[in-house]
Amino acid sequence: MNLLRQHRVAAFLLVLLSIAAFATSQKDLVLLVSGGALAMLSWYVTEGPRGRSLPSLASNGLIIALLAWTLLNFLGELDLTDSTAVLGRFLLWLLVIKLFSTRTTYEDRQRVTLAVMLVVCGCLETVEFIFAALVFLFLALSIWTAMLWRLHASYEAARVSRRGDGGLLPPPLEVSVGRRLLPQFRRVAFFSIATIFVGSALGFALFPRFGESRGDRSGSESVSGFNDRIDLLANERINESRRELFSLRWIDPTGTPVKSPRPIYLRGAVLDRYDPVTHRWEVLRTSTAIRAMRTPPDAKFVALGPGVPDTTGGVWTAEITMRSLATSVLFTVYAPFAVATDESYSVAFDPQTLLLRDVGTDHVGRYWWYALRVQPQPSPQMMETLQGSVDPPRSDVSFPVAAMVPIAQQILVAASVTGLPTAQDVRDDPSLRWMRNREIARAIAGWMRSGRFQYTTDLSSFRIEGGEDPIVAFLERNRFGHCEYFASALVATLRSLGIESRLITGFVAIEYDGSTEQYIVRESNAHAWVEVRTGERQWTALDPTPEDSLQQISERNRSFADNFRWIYDRVEFLWNSRVLAYDGAAQATIADRVQSQWWKYAQQTLDALRAQMRALVERYALGRAGTIWFSAIALGVVTALAAWFVAKRRTARTHRVAGLEALPHEEARVVARDCAFFADALDMLDRAGLSKPAPMTPRQHAGLVTAFAADAGMEFARLVERFYQVRYGGLRQSISDRAETRNALLRLKSALSRGR
């Protein structure tokens, strides 16, 4: 019986999966390969042609050595935060040793238990999607294995229970099996697995939540460049991942999607404060004029400020489809003045920074679409209308690292800026100040792009000497780094020269897909650049990072797998945004939405029905009684359907109990009509707990019923005789016969009720 032997293979696969899951949780390829290979080898060694297993002495010795090694390592480092990982590794290698031990049921049980513990350790270590996928696979396989194990355990119990007693040997256990065992087992197993998954999803959605979820609501934000700070010492954001985050369609004023000749900078955060102690760039939260607005549904544009002119013509549109990035930031191209979303969202607009953020909690899904109308060269009037009152230009601009001032002076000299207005010119004409700022900034940015600094994301050799600022280290000694260093250096230099500037983080759109006429923005496109104030309300974007470096990063590591990577990205995105970030607010939102949708749907259906009814009433001029007529007809239809269903069921039952399947259709129909009373009688007996055992003939059954209830048995015996006459004697019941049969049924019913 194959089914009774499959549990061992299933349990072994479970063990392999647990090893893979834990290694994934640790992100340890060596552990995965070595542990997995040894585990697979164990199957060949123990179950292969020679069927060897590790002697218990050797096995115990190895376990003791492993325990000692683990303890020594753990006590040597004594990192309590790493205790779960240490325990997991110990369990993993213990499991591998156990795999080489003897293959008994007891050992199998131990292995499965260890596998479950290993997965639990993984659960405590990570909640990442790939690990969660393995956990769900583990869960499905566990269900399958548990079912196989149940059958095997029962078989073993029944087999062992046949013990010899007093020198008597019982006959060996013969396994009783019906037809189509395997397909039916698979059906039950798949039903169980599917029900558990669907039910657990429902349970997950309804589970009461009392706090914030552990999962980061912003999903992969932490590794994608959108948190509102930069830590120059951490160097954790910028990477070369080709994970697709969103797509951008850049539409010109004529409504045609085009490829921009220059990279498109999508602003995500404006960082204007540098902390020289922590070496972090942060948002200086001074803006108090945040505007909250509700976007209309159906992708209708809404202006970002009161009185913003409707400049439908002559403006550019950026359509962004978020694919696998869970963030509340709406990335904007400078300078936006209207926004549209696929659904109605609550959006906050900061006039000071021209940034947009989704502040509503009324949606869970982060796979969404929005569009922005932007004016790359906005007029001062438009900016004034859009921004209202904003912080005026500052005259006391400085950078909090004193060492930067001489460096900035040196750079200014090195950049050899010429043709600048003199200080007297600026005093005479304040507007020249903005031109001076722009020229200096452009010159220094150009100087930084000119090959003196090398772009790299590998900062392993970036050295900072005691107390030195990373920006100074970048400019003075290392001269390599990524965009954050370039942008930080430019801002630091400009501010040291008294020029107001700020650091911007977001994405740069470079990779254009001509087939879909849109830009693909990946994780590696995360970027930082600079904005310099070049007017009362005007800021000019400058990118000190060499453009070809960005292009190189974008094109590096491209492979065939990139064509399909979006599938994984999207599922991971859904996991992050809809599972890990699922909390009480999201639960309430879903509840509200379901309720409102249900009401909406019910009302729509009701309205449609009313409208149809009204139309019919008018068409046939039924007047006020039309409603009554329709109600009566509907009631009649429902009753007829119910009656048809009951009659159909009764006929099918009569066919079964009277064995009419073999008869020709017409004959079966006639006989079934006359034999229906017998099915009714059997139903009555069934309800009274006197159902007919399959091997009994109706007459024998009547005898059995008589033994339990004499009156009922006699009545039933009469009905049985009538049944024989109809079924086998060719009798066709007349009206009086049917009346008599009905009376006999009533008598049987009353006899059975008396018997109770």
Partner 1 sequence: MHATRRRTNFGSIGILYCLLVVVVALASVNRPNNLLVWIFAAMLVALLVSGIVSGAMLIRLRAHRIEPRRARVGELLVVRYELRNAARFMAAFDLHVVERDFPASITPCGEAWALHCGPGDTVHAEGVFRPSRRGLFRLPCFEVWSSFPFGLLRKRLIFARVSEVLVEPEIVPLQPALLSRVARGGLMGGVHASIEIGGGEDFFGVREYRSGDSVRNIAWKRLAGTDQLATIERSRSVPPRVRVVLDLRRETSALRVASGVDPRALEEDAITLAASLMALADRQGDEFGLTVLGLDVAAIPLRRGHFHRAKVLAALAAIDLDLPRDPSASLRESAERATILFVHADRADTSVSPSVGWNFTASQLSTLRLPTAHGAAT
Using the minimum distance from each CB to partner 1, give the nearer residue, 585 or 670.
585
Query: Minimal distance in Å, beta carbon 700 to partner 1?
Result: 12
Residue 189 lies near partner 1 (rule: CB under 8 A): yes
Strands 526-533 and 539-542, sheet pairing: antiparallel
Residue 756 lies near partner 1 (rule: CB under 8 A): no
Rounded to whole angstroms, the Cα distance separating 83 from 306 reads 57
Residue by residue, DSSP assigns 501-560 as EEEEEEEEE-EEETTTTEEEEEGGGEEEEEEEE-SSS-EEEE--S-HHHHHHHHHTT--T
Using the minimum distance from each CB to partner 1, give the nearer residue, 3 or 420.
3
Query: Minimal distance in Å, beta carbon 112 to partner 1?
Result: 13
Footprint on residues 299-358 left by partner 1 (CB under 8 A): none
Size of the site for partner 1 (CB under 8 A): 73
Residue 714 lies near partner 1 (rule: CB under 8 A): no
Residue 45 lies near partner 1 (rule: CB under 8 A): no
Indicate the residue type of 42: S
Using the minimum distance from each CB to partner 1, give the nearer residue, 213 or 260.
213
Among 146, 302, 590, 717, binds partner 1 (CB under 8 A): 146
Residue 187 lies near partner 1 (rule: CB under 8 A): yes
The residues facing 247 across adjacent strands are: 321, 520
The residues facing 340 across adjacent strands are: 371
Query: Minimal distance in Å, beta carbon 597 to partner 1?
Result: 23
Query: Do residues 751 and 711 lie in contact, with contact meaning Cβ atoms separated by under 8 Å?
Result: yes
The 3-state DSSP class for residue 582 equals coil
Stretches 90-98, 153-161, 301-309, 399-407: which one binds partner 1 (CB under 8 A)? 153-161
Query: Minimal distance in Å, beta carbon 691 to partner 1?
Result: 5
Say which residues have a Cβ less than 8 Å from residue 595's Cβ, sequence separation at least 6. none
Using the minimum distance from each CB to partner 1, give the nearer residue, 184 or 278.
184
Among 58, 64, 67, 173, binds partner 1 (CB under 8 A): 173
The residues facing 481 across adjacent strands are: 455
Say which residues have a Cβ less than 8 Å from residue 551's Cβ, sequence separation at least 6. 510
**Consecutive H or E run containing 611:** helix 584-619
The token pair that represents 379 in the structure block: 């007029």
The token pair that represents 754 in the structure block: 């008396």
Query: Minimal distance in Å, beta carbon 113 to partner 1?
Result: 12
Query: Minimal distance in Å, beta carbon 461 to partner 1?
Result: 38
Footprint on residues 436-455 left by partner 1 (CB under 8 A): none
Among 29, 71, 72, 177, binds partner 1 (CB under 8 A): 177
Among 44, 191, 598, 728, binds partner 1 (CB under 8 A): 191
Rounded to whole angstroms, the Cα distance separating 721 from 699 reads 8
Rounded to whole angstroms, the Cα distance separating 119 from 108 reads 17
Among 155, 480, 568, 629, binds partner 1 (CB under 8 A): 155
Rounded to whole angstroms, the Cα distance separating 625 from 647 reads 33
The 3-state DSSP class for residue 292 equals strand
Cis bond before residue 335 (omega within 30° of 0): yes
Query: Minimal distance in Å, beta carbon 200 to partner 1?
Result: 4
Among 62, 147, 304, 487, binds partner 1 (CB under 8 A): 147
**Consecutive H or E run containing 266:** strand 264-271
- Helices 129-161 and 6-26 pack at an angle, to 10 degrees, of 150
The 3-state DSSP class for residue 428 equals helix
Query: Do residues 578 and 213 lie in contact, with contact meaning Cβ atoms separated by under 8 Å?
Result: no
Query: Minimal distance in Å, beta carbon 175 to partner 1?
Result: 5
Query: Do residues 162 and 63 lie in contact, with contact meaning Cβ atoms separated by under 8 Å?
Result: no
Q: How many Cα neighbours within 13 Å face the side chain of 443?
A: 18
Footprint on residues 553-592 left by partner 1 (CB under 8 A): 579-580, 582-583
Buried b (16+ CB within 10 A) or exposed e, 649-667: eebebbbebbebeebeeee
Query: Do residues 455 and 556 lie in contact, with contact meaning Cβ atoms separated by under 8 Å?
Result: no
Among 171, 255, 261, 306, binds partner 1 (CB under 8 A): 171
Among 176, 254, 377, 395, binds partner 1 (CB under 8 A): 176
Residue 432 lies near partner 1 (rule: CB under 8 A): no
Footprint on residues 198-227 left by partner 1 (CB under 8 A): 199-204, 207-215
Query: Minimal distance in Å, beta carbon 29 to partner 1?
Result: 23
Residue by residue, DSSP assigns 364-417 as -----EEEEEE-SS--HHHHHHHH-S-PPPPS----S-TTHHHHHHHHHHHTT-
**Consecutive H or E run containing 148:** helix 129-161
Query: Minimal distance in Å, beta carbon 186 to partner 1?
Result: 10
Stretches 9-17, 164-172, 272-280, 744-752: which one binds partner 1 (CB under 8 A)? 164-172
Query: Minimal distance in Å, beta carbon 633 to partner 1?
Result: 34
Footprint on residues 486-505 left by partner 1 (CB under 8 A): none
Using the minimum distance from each CB to partner 1, give the nearer residue, 438 or 692.
692
Residue 197 lies near partner 1 (rule: CB under 8 A): yes
State the binding string over 651-690 for partner 1 (x if CB under 8 A, else -).
Answer: -----------------------------------x--xx
Measured distance between the N- and C-terminal CA atoms of the chain, rounded to whole angstroms:
46
Among 695, 734, 736, 756, binds partner 1 (CB under 8 A): 695
Stretches 70-78, 184-192, 406-414, 551-559: which one binds partner 1 (CB under 8 A)? 184-192
Using the minimum distance from each CB to partner 1, give the nearer residue, 242 or 366.
366
Using the minimum distance from each CB to partner 1, give the nearer residue, 147 or 459.
147
Query: Minimal distance in Å, beta carbon 756 to partner 1?
Result: 13
Query: Do residues 257 and 250 lie in contact, with contact meaning Cβ atoms separated by under 8 Å?
Result: yes
Query: Minimal distance in Å, beta carbon 687 to partner 1?
Result: 9
Footprint on residues 82-141 left by partner 1 (CB under 8 A): 123, 127, 132, 135, 139
Using the minimum distance from each CB to partner 1, give the nearer residue, 153 or 744.
153
Using the minimum distance from each CB to partner 1, give the nearer residue, 211 or 730.
211
Query: Residue holding tokens 């109770």?
Result: 756
Query: Minimal distance in Å, beta carbon 161 to partner 1?
Result: 4
Using the minimum distance from each CB to partner 1, give the nearer residue, 51 or 199.
199
Residue 367 lies near partner 1 (rule: CB under 8 A): no
Please count the other Cβ atoms lying within 10 Å of the Cβ belonging to residue 336: 24
The token pair that represents 706 in the structure block: 């008589």
Query: Minimal distance in Å, beta carbon 581 to partner 1?
Result: 8
Query: Minimal distance in Å, beta carbon 397 to partner 1?
Result: 45
Residue by residue, DSSP assigns 12-23 as HHHHHHHHHHHH
Stretches 175-183, 591-599, 619-627, 740-748: which one binds partner 1 (CB under 8 A)? 175-183
Please count the other Cβ atoms lying within 10 Å of the Cβ belonging to residue 576: 24
